[in-house]
Structure 1
Amino acid sequence: MIKAIIFDLDDTLYYELEYVKSGFKAVSNYIASKYKISSDAFYNKLLEVLKSEGRGKTFNIALEDFQLPLDEVKNLIELYRNHQPKRFELYPDAKSAISRFKGKYKLGLITDGHSTVQWNKIKALGIEKGFDEIIVSDDYGVDKRKPSSFPYLTIIKKFNLRPEEAVYIGDNPDKDFITARKLGLKTVRIIREKGMHIDKRLSEEYEADYRIKSLDELDKVLEL
């Protein structure tokens, strides 16, 4: 019998690109004020680089394209990580699910990423009180990120439950499900209309037990 529902955060409960755009806006405003460069131009360049190159060297490439000093990278990273996001909301079905399941199940959240960034997201979304337990893996060390067993076992222990009494919902087959399944948790992959991992298809061991397109479908999975 399922007694706990554990969610991933990014692209599961909200659209992560909205946070990224918010950070890019903060960075672009800083560059514009310091170097008299169009904020919109730098912002659009960041989005262009993100789309073509992915994460990792976004700031480096944009600075090079505008012939700006690369020693600004550290400043941009800090600004991005510490900015307070705006226009930032849960998906409607996520808001509904938290409200619907609160009190009926123990609710947990596991999220990877820089601690300051992830906690800023959680606070901006206003969801701290919606969960009984929240695990930001980087609070314990980068090596504790999924697919490490640490965040799953830690939250299960906090709930005083067995793994088979919990279900985990995420969106990224690279890391979300392989360990959770091995530990005995029921796993659910949400594939939304947009998101970083919607087109990923991996071998069966990396996939979840169930797939859904909306958290409104989760009730049916819990009955299985």
Structure 2
Amino acid sequence: MTGRRWQVVVFDLDDTLYPERAYVLSGFRAVAAWAENHLGISAEQGFVELERLFAAGIRGNTFNHWLALHGRSDDLVPQLVKVYREHEPQITPFPNVPMILARLHAQFPLGLLSDGYLDVQWRKLMALKIFRFFNEVLFSDELGQGHWKPNPRPFEVILHRLGVEDPGMAVYIGDNPLKDFLGARQVGMGTIWLRRPGGEYTDLEPPTEAHKPDVQVFSLTEVLCLLEE
């Protein structure tokens, strides 16, 4: 690895290694199945309605909107959120992710750093069957929600766990310019924006100069080529 720009690679998870929309739809299926059993709403109908709300850009209060469609009380929202978060996700990585991770794992120490509720993120990672490729995994919720990205603390912790003494030799690869690169840059890491066409954050722009990545690419294959230069 001598002479390469970066010698340690850390990945984000959601929308970087798998499509987060797939997790959302998996959760909606679980909620719709629960609603059929407990509320008498057809699971097929419920799933279609939830998917339409998501497609319409409803975020954060999707279940409130859905319950309102059926004249149901918001008191049911915590139960639906519980079902959503505790379900076993039916998700798969983006094409070529396992192959590319295997290739990188043979050349670099690999880390995984992602936000999200701890139990939820672990279920995602296990469902994706890519855990074996990472030398270290850190979900920032382990440090408390006050240390979710863009806080620099999780970047410091993952670098420490990977035994990195010079942060400039490590690179973070993520998809969200609002939070993925600021903290990484603050601790001295390199940054790559994997700006997949059609991604949840593809059309966003970094809000400040400090949020901008060092490099922008549009596929994981480009990441591989960049790292192997």
TM over 0.5: yes
Residue of structure 2 equivalent to 1:194: 198
Report deviation, 1:28.
0.5
**Residue of structure 1 equivalent to 2:147:** 144
Give the Cα separation in 2 of the matches to 1:109 and 1:218.
15
- Alignment check: 8 A CA contact 2:98 2:130 kept: no
TM-fit CA distance, 1:219: 3.4
Q: How does 1:145-164 map to 2 (within 5 A)?
A: 145-161=148-164, 162-164=166-168
| Residue matched to 1:101 | 104
* Whole-angstrom distance in 2 between the partners of 1:163 and 1:112: 20
Structure 1 residue aligned with 2:7, among 3, 10, 26?
3
User: Where in structure 2 are there 5+ consecutive unaligned residues?
Assistant: none
Q: Secondary structure at the match of 2:56?
A: helix
What is the one-letter code of the residue matched to 2:46?
F
Q: Are 1:133 and 1:158, in contact at CA under 8 Å, matched by a contact in 2?
A: yes
The Cα shift of 1:93 comes to: 3.0
CA distance in 2, matches of 1:70, 1:54: 16
Is residue 212 of structure 1 aligned with residue 212 of structure 2? no
Deviations 1:159-210 (A, max 9, x none): 1212101011000000000121122111000111222101001243212110
* Shift in Å, 1:53: 4.2
Task: Return 5+ residue gaps in structure 1 as ranges.
Answer: none
State which of 151, 174, 181 in structure 2 corresponds to 1:170.
174
| Residue aligning to 2:135 | 132
1:142-164 residue CA offsets vs partner (Å, 9 max, x unmatched): 11110011110001111121210
Partner of 1:92: 95
Aligned pairs, number: 223
- TM-score with structure 2 setting the length: 0.92
* 1:54 alignment partner in structure 2: 58
- Calculate the aligned-residue CA RMSD, in Å: 1.4
| Alignment match of 1:41 (pick from 40, 45, 48) | 45
Give runs of ≥4 in structure 1 deviating > 4 Å: none
TM-score by length of 1: 0.94
